[in-house]
Structure 1
């Protein structure tokens, strides 16, 4: 097997995990790491017995495929440099801060014949993978993604920090245009929005209600998908999924005179199935394997640059709606 020469740019909390996994994957040869924080780069390199590159140029000369895990406001500048130098790129989510910059990276990768993947790692969550076949045509989606406050990631609003994971998942399952967005949000600990809720209405009538907070007391990540005959619950943290499906031929006829007493037990109307979730592998390892397979043999990654761009477009519209709602609140005070 010919191994792909890899490197990681930015070895903070997440980038160091990319480096660790590359060092373990049979398809990868981790050539080294680069970070503007030289001591941090050297510490990571020493722990994995690889080089700490002294410059981005040195990194691109040694690697064919690179993970970019720097703060979001640097994604565009460094990502463009990497693509211009002929390196396949996996950029952590969100793809960039601005839609125009994301579009430019997508076009540049296409022109260069390079792979551009975006690190929406929840697409590789075994619970979501197991649930995808059972979800069918979702008509209503609820998602909640809550996290305790952590300064890491607060250079962007919670919509780009956390909510964008669920935006990407929903867009991958409801493949129709978003025709209307209503959203609210407030800053709490930072100068940008820390709690947000958005209601997305899709062409054809499907609706998604999406909530995110980075000022919660504990972590909570759940999604619920409702279709005409089923309900699928996905717990992203526990990596567990359950499908509740209406039994064939079941119809409820209400006896108005006896009211609730005429209702059968709900579970007697449903087939309940705990979906089998393969928890043996890390989602990030699966994401990096997919990226390397595309870099080696072509094909589109599970989460492409175009997917990252689409998620960013919807996130931008949500942030615009939040800004409008905040302005209306201030006007009314």
Structure 2
């Protein structure tokens, strides 16, 4: 079978990593790249740098990776769908939930694979965590907490920290728990003088009654990427910077203090850090996208429908912060 012909639009900070993986991916040939501002990282190689998505489509590509600024996602995605080209669009899928839903509808109506670049789903620590939760190793899940903090990335100009960073945590939380969000509340802050928020603290509840909370900002001088899942048998902590997964077991300890014996709780037990393979998340994402396009099975990728659901929660967080309310997401969608 011949290789899939891939295109890439957007050769900036994220685009260069997509180019590297596309060039190394078995069964795929990167045949065309486009960026109206040229090739600042020199990733095009012998390929001409085309000016726009229309020129890219003319090259007869099978699928396209979209790594342009968020406000261009809808226009580029719409043209790809109309041309019958499968796509991976970097997160967030669009600048609004309404646009995201329209894109998801377009790709589904055309029978195309439409994926969203929520790369954390392909991090080895979270994939291992999800496998262990599905096997019931934690028992009942009580709470999922995430912390995604660090300095401001100069590449971001057209969305705030909620849609750029918190979107990762929303997607991975729903995916790990196997449940959508039921309600959410949030507080945002603007501290860096930009138009968009740079800090958010959010709490919520999933439809399966798991409590969630997220701390996300661009104002911390050290990077932190941590997901903590607490349940009846202990706690898992996934660090996606190092791809480590650690389990903290509950222990049953008898007390000799009669006054305390009637209190029920947990005590510190054994701590285990698991060993497993740690492939590059972006490489895994590309491999699974290739396989989805070849087979039509989209169960292992982040679909546009799921990407739209993430934006719905993002906008609920922003609405909650603006109005001082808890937003009910269980109403008709």
Normalising by structure 1, report the TM-score.
0.88
CA deviations on 1:122-181 (whole Å, 9 max, x unpaired) are 101111111112234422011100111222223111011111101001111233343321
Task: Give the match for residue 33 of structure 1.
Answer: 33
Task: Give the match for residue 313 of structure 1.
Answer: 312
Task: Give the match for residue 191 of structure 1.
Answer: 195
Task: Give the match for residue 115 of structure 1.
Answer: 113
Asked whether 1:58 is paired with 2:60, we answer: no
CA deviations on 1:283-312 (whole Å, 9 max, x unpaired) are 101101111111112111421111111111
Structure 1 counterpart SS, 2:209: coil
In the alignment, the residues of structure 2 paired with residue 177 and residue 38 of structure 1 have an alpha-carbon distance, to the nearest angstrom, of: 40
In the alignment, the residues of structure 1 paired with residue 53 and residue 316 of structure 2 have an alpha-carbon distance, to the nearest angstrom, of: 34
Structure 1 counterpart SS, 2:272: strand
Asked whether 1:165 is paired with 2:168, we answer: yes
Please list every run of 5 or more consecutive structure 2 residues that lacks an aligned counterpart in the other structure.
326-333
User: 1:218-233 residue pairs with structure 2 within 5 A?
Assistant: 218-233=222-237
Structure 1 counterpart SS, 2:14: helix
CA RMSD after TM alignment: 2.4
Task: Give the match for residue 148 of structure 1.
Answer: 151
Task: Give the match for residue 323 of structure 1.
Answer: 322
Structure 1 counterpart SS, 2:285: helix
Residue 182 of structure 2, aligned match among 170, 179, 184: 179
Contact 1:241 1:277 in 2 (8 A): no
In the alignment, the residues of structure 2 paired with residue 256 and residue 208 of structure 1 have an alpha-carbon distance, to the nearest angstrom, of: 35
Contact 1:30 1:50 in 2 (8 A): no
Residue 69 of structure 2, aligned match among 68, 71, 91: 71
Of 99-108 and 199-208, the range deviating more from structure 2: 199-208
Deviation of 1:275 after TM superposition, in Å, equals 1.7
Asked whether 1:202 is paired with 2:206, we answer: yes
In the alignment, the residues of structure 2 paired with residue 176 and residue 235 of structure 1 have an alpha-carbon distance, to the nearest angstrom, of: 22
Task: Give the match for residue 330 of structure 1.
Answer: none
Please list every run of 5 or more consecutive structure 1 residues that lacks an aligned counterpart in the other structure.
327-333
Contact 1:27 1:289 in 2 (8 A): no
Task: Give the match for residue 24 of structure 1.
Answer: 24
Structure 2 counterpart SS, 1:246: strand
Deviation of 1:56 after TM superposition, in Å, equals 2.0
Deviation of 1:26 after TM superposition, in Å, equals 1.2
Deviation of 1:266 after TM superposition, in Å, equals 4.2
Contact 2:142 2:231 in 1 (8 A): yes
Report the CA distance shift for 1:141/1:254 in structure 2 as closer, same or farther (over 3 A).
farther
Task: Give the match for residue 272 of structure 1.
Answer: 271
Normalising by structure 2, report the TM-score.
0.88
Structure 2 counterpart SS, 1:243: strand
In the alignment, the residues of structure 1 paired with residue 322 and residue 191 of structure 2 have an alpha-carbon distance, to the nearest angstrom, of: 15
Deviation of 1:215 after TM superposition, in Å, equals 1.4
CA deviations on 1:260-283 (whole Å, 9 max, x unpaired) are xx99x944xx3432122312x211
Q: Which runs of 4+ in 1 moved over 6 A?
A: none
In the alignment, the residues of structure 2 paired with residue 138 and residue 102 of structure 1 have an alpha-carbon distance, to the nearest angstrom, of: 30
In the alignment, the residues of structure 1 paired with residue 15 and residue 254 of structure 2 have an alpha-carbon distance, to the nearest angstrom, of: 54
Number of equivalenced pairs: 316
Contact 2:202 2:215 in 1 (8 A): yes
Structure with the larger strand share: 2
